[in-house]
Structure 1
Amino acid sequence: MSHYSGWIAWSVFYGMIGFVIFLMLKGYLLYIIIKKDPVYTKAKIVSYVPKTPDEMGEVDIVMTYSFIADEKTYIKEQQALNIKTLDLDKYYVGKEVPIVYYRKNPNYSKIDVYDKSLRN
């Protein structure tokens, strides 16, 4: 067993590193796919949960939003948006937020954080 313990330890280590790299690439691939043929629209917040504010007066809200594309309703869950704590009352269920999605497959969508309506 001691002969294989080194291999097992290194396998776990490389597995964790690989998982972190996978998570980073997943977000980047979504960006690349949407960038090919983007559609900018508005989505409505279905639900949201604010996280704990940080020392700089910012808070992450994790939301679920829905939008209509090609006469079909799409729902995207677990989307995070970083806002100022003072702006927390501006986000509520039913509020419209800007999103961008891939024209050929609207399942690939994300919050358009570069939209001027989200900048303060």
Structure 2
Amino acid sequence: MHLDHDPASPAGETIGFDAFLKVDIRIGTILSAEPYPEARKPAYKLLIDFGPGIGRKKSSAQITENYELHDLPGRQVAAVVNFPPRQIGKFLSEVLTLGFADEGGAVILFAPDRTVPNGSRLF
């Protein structure tokens, strides 16, 4: 499946609401961020707290162009928490951290505009 990051691209194919509900998108707070120099594309290793129901999960995120490591801890982010873990080099990424492409194609993290409880689900 190819994801088109062009803002002028048309909407994807129509899906039913039940399909949307299968994707579990939650809010978590980044606890730590580390460099990941072994990654093929520049990335950071994140540890994210999704609250007591889901716990702490790891994510590899290609966000190095717009974010410095020291700015990430304490920041809330949205992530898909029910995809299977994915091996990214030697790192096992457990959740997919979500973002949008900026004008240059670099990732801008997706997050609520106000603080919400960790583990809150998108609906």
Q: TM (normalized to structure 1)?
A: 0.44
Larger helix share, 1 or 2: 1
Larger strand share, 1 or 2: 1
